[in-house]
Amino acid sequence: MTEQTIRFTRGIPAVESFTPDQLAECAKTVLTKYYETILQYAPSRGFQPLRQLLAERDGIDQQRVVLGQGSLELQDLLARVLLRPGQAVFVEAPSYDRTINILKRAGGQLTGFPIEPDGVNVDLVEAALKNDARPVLFYLIPDFQNPSGAVLSHIKRQRLIDLSREYNFWIVEDSPYRLLRYRGQPVPSMFELAPDRVLKMSSYSKLISPGLRVGYMVAPEAIAEQVAKWAEDTYINPSYLNQAIVYDYERRGWLEPHIDDLKSLYCPRLDAMLESLDRHMSGLAAWQKPEGGFFIGMTLNGDVRARDLLKRAEEANLLLTNGSSFFPNGGGDNFVRLPFCGLTPGEIEEGVARLASIVTTF
Ligand SMILES: Cc1ncc(COP(=O)(O)O)c(C=O)c1O
């Protein structure tokens, strides 16, 4: 078959969003200005000026900020620090597949709670807690969730925070897509609502470049201290050069206009995906209609086995992620994650058309 392969697999930024010339300028500046620090071994919490900048933004002490090689690495460290094998962990279902793996690898016993258009079903969470479930933490992606695209409503955020206080668990708020809102109004972050109960994680991967591997965590000081110690014993310190480049990019005031550029690039791609879905998938599936982020989550009607779906899609040169990998307790065979930022509107249209013709074979 000679058709172009369309990859609905990975949630990656568009290559044309990268700004190599600006980053080269930042690299040159920081290698001149900070070379004694950034080329040396250094404290594991990360490049101090960037930690300070992030701390000032949140009005907190910089000791609470830990930088890592992407936020995923910090998630791994956090799981090792907070979890003991066999302890309960709550997640959304579906949730980010790599975090599910990290939490399971740390021995967590995961329970997934279904996602609705306004985020996780809090009634079911409350019922589980009343039924004596005792999670150590609840991992949530409240803004433009990966993989569903859902945004957790303000009222549900507040209810979950109230529950976290009553039943004494941590909320881990992972929000790498929060600033990529293409329309509509933002909802207060969970960290803003409860900075004492919420550990915030985010990243520059979707805003500047994932290759730089610069992510961060804001945690209560005692937890930040433990994570920093574990980090030090594991890799001494993350790459200060990359963190300094990000810092300089921020300091020059380049991030905000760049985010505006990203919105101009990605919003038409979101619209192309929504229009293609209306055109080809009506009556075949139900899907979220997000106002930002990287993904649209879709549930196919009828009886679909993920393995068969993936195979038939591959035969049509369409690559899909296995939907069941996003579900911690099984299921998800008929769930499809559709990333839209790294594809052109033409590829999106072609990919959805191919998907529709495959789905009708079930
Ligand atoms: C929800 C979520 N968290 C974390 C990550 C990993 O980000 P990073 O590149 O900062 O490690 C991703 C990447 O896709 C993600 O979707």
Residues, the chain: 362
Residue range 257-287, pLDDT digits in tens:
999 999 999 999 999 999 999 999 999 999 9
Residue range 72-83, pLDDT digits in tens:
999 999 999 999
Closest CA to 66 of 226, 249, 252: 226
Adjacent-strand bridge partners of 7: 319
The yes-or-no verdict on residue 317 having pLDDT over 80 is yes
Mean pLDDT for 46-51 is 98
Mean pLDDT for 153-167 is 98
Provide the pLDDT for residue 269.
97
How far, in Å, is the centroid of ligand 1 from the Cα of 322?
A: 18
The yes-or-no verdict on residue 19 having pLDDT over 60 is yes
Residue range 223-235, pLDDT digits in tens:
999 999 999 999 9
Residue to probe by mutation, ligand 1, list 146, 213, 326, most atoms within 8 Å of CB:
146
The yes-or-no verdict on residue 321 having pLDDT over 80 is yes
More confident residue, 235 or 10: 235
How far, in Å, is the centroid of ligand 1 from the Cα of 98?
A: 8
| CA separation, residue 160 to residues 33, 181, 326 (Å) | 45, 23, 21
Residue to probe by mutation, ligand 1, list 72, 152, 206, most atoms within 8 Å of CB:
72
Closest CA to 139 of 94, 101, 176, 89: 89
How far, in Å, is the centroid of ligand 1 from the Cα of 2?
A: 33
Q: Give DSSP secondary structure letters for 181-208.
A: B-SS-PPPPHHHH-TTTEEEEEESTTTT
The yes-or-no verdict on residue 2 having pLDDT over 60 is no
Beta strand pairing call for 65-69 and 214-218: antiparallel
Mean pLDDT for 52-64 is 96
Closest CA to 326 of 143, 114, 123: 114
Return mean pLDDT, the chain.
96
Provide the pLDDT for residue 292.
98
SS (H, E, C) the chain: CCCCCEEECCCCCCHHHCCHHHHHHHHHHHHHHCHHHHCCCCCCCCCHHHHHHHHHHHCCCHHHEEEEEHHHHHHHHHHHHHCCCCCEEEEEECCCHHHHHHHHHCCCEEEEEEEECCEECHHHHHHHHHCCCCEEEEEECCCCCCCCCCCCCHHHHHHHHHHHHHHCCEEEEECCCCCCECCCCCCCCHHHHCCCCEEEEEECCCCCCHHHCEEEEECCHHHHHHHHHHHHHHHCCCCHHHHHHHHHHHHCCCHHHHHHHHHHHHHHHHHHHHHHHHHHHCCCEEECCCCECCEEEEEECCCCCHHHHHHHHHHCCEEECCHHHHCCCCCCCCEEEEECCCCCHHHHHHHHHHHHHHHCCC
Residue found under tokens 């619209």: 271
Provide the pLDDT for residue 95.
98
How far, in Å, is the centroid of ligand 1 from the Cα of 331?
A: 23
Position 361 confidence tier, pLDDT thresholds 50, 70, 90: confident
The yes-or-no verdict on residue 63 having pLDDT over 90 is yes
Residues having CB closer than 6 A to ligand 1 are: 11, 70-72, 96, 141, 146, 174, 176, 203, 205, 210, 215
The yes-or-no verdict on residue 345 having pLDDT over 90 is yes
Atom of ligand 1 nearest to the CA of 204: 10
Adjacent-strand bridge partners of 2: none
Position 303 confidence tier, pLDDT thresholds 50, 70, 90: confident
Mean pLDDT for 139-164 is 98
Provide the pLDDT for residue 304.
85
Provide the pLDDT for residue 10.
77
Provide the pLDDT for residue 285.
95
Q: Are 220 and 226 in contact (CB under 8 A)?
A: no
The yes-or-no verdict on residue 314 having pLDDT over 90 is yes
Residue type, 213: R
Task: Report the alpha-carbon distance of residue 137 to residue 153 in Å, rounded.
Answer: 20
Task: Report the alpha-carbon distance of residue 170 to residue 153 in Å, rounded.
Answer: 19
The yes-or-no verdict on residue 307 having pLDDT over 90 is no
Pull the structure tokens for residue 141.
Answer: 């992606």
Percent of the chain scoring above 70 in pLDDT = 99
| 3-state class (DSSP) for residue 78 | helix
Position 362 confidence tier, pLDDT thresholds 50, 70, 90: confident
Residue to probe by mutation, ligand 1, list 174, 175, 205, most atoms within 8 Å of CB:
205
Percent of the chain scoring above 90 in pLDDT = 96
pTM above 0.75?
yes
The yes-or-no verdict on residue 1 having pLDDT over 80 is no
**Lowest-confidence region among 24-33, 252-261, 305-314, 316-325:** 305-314
